[in-house]
Amino acid sequence: MATVHPAGCDHRNRSSIANWRRSDGGSRFTGDIARACVFNRALGANEIAALCQDDQGPAFKDAALVGHWLFDKSAAGVFPNAVDQAAVARSVGHVEVVDSRFGKAVHLNGEGYLEIANSPALALAKGGTWYALIRPEVTKGRLIDKCPVGGATGYTFDTYPGNALRLISDSGTVSFEARLTPGEWTHVTATVDANGSSALYVNGKPVASVPRASSEVELKMLLAKVDRVRRFYQAMVQAGNANTYEAAHARLAVQCLVAAHERVMGLAAGTLPRLPARSAATADRLYLSTTAKLCDGLAKVLDGYSNASDARQRQYHALWRAASGF
Instruction: Measure the CA–CA gap between 113 and 123, rounded to whole angstroms.
Output: 20
Length in residues, the chain? 326
Phi-psi region for residue 162, left (φ > 0), alpha (ψ -120 to 50) or beta?
left
Query: Which residue numbers in the chain have pLDDT < 70?
Result: 1-27, 56-57, 85-86, 147-153, 213-217, 268, 277-279, 281, 325-326
pLDDT of residue 18: 56
**φ/ψ of residue 316, rounded to 5:** -65, -40
pLDDT of residue 129: 96
pLDDT of residue 13: 46
Residue 312: partners with Cβ closer than 8 Å, 6 or more residues away? 241
Residue 4: partners with Cβ closer than 8 Å, 6 or more residues away? 14, 15, 16, 17, 38, 67, 89, 114, 116, 122, 144, 145, 146
Inter-residue contact 222 to 292 (CB < 8 Å):
yes
Phi-psi region for residue 223, left (φ > 0), alpha (ψ -120 to 50) or beta?
alpha
CA distances from 160 to 124, 130, 204 (A): 22, 16, 20
Residue range 116-135, pLDDT digits in tens: 887 778 878 789 999 999 99
Most distant CA pair in the chain: distance in Å?
A: 66
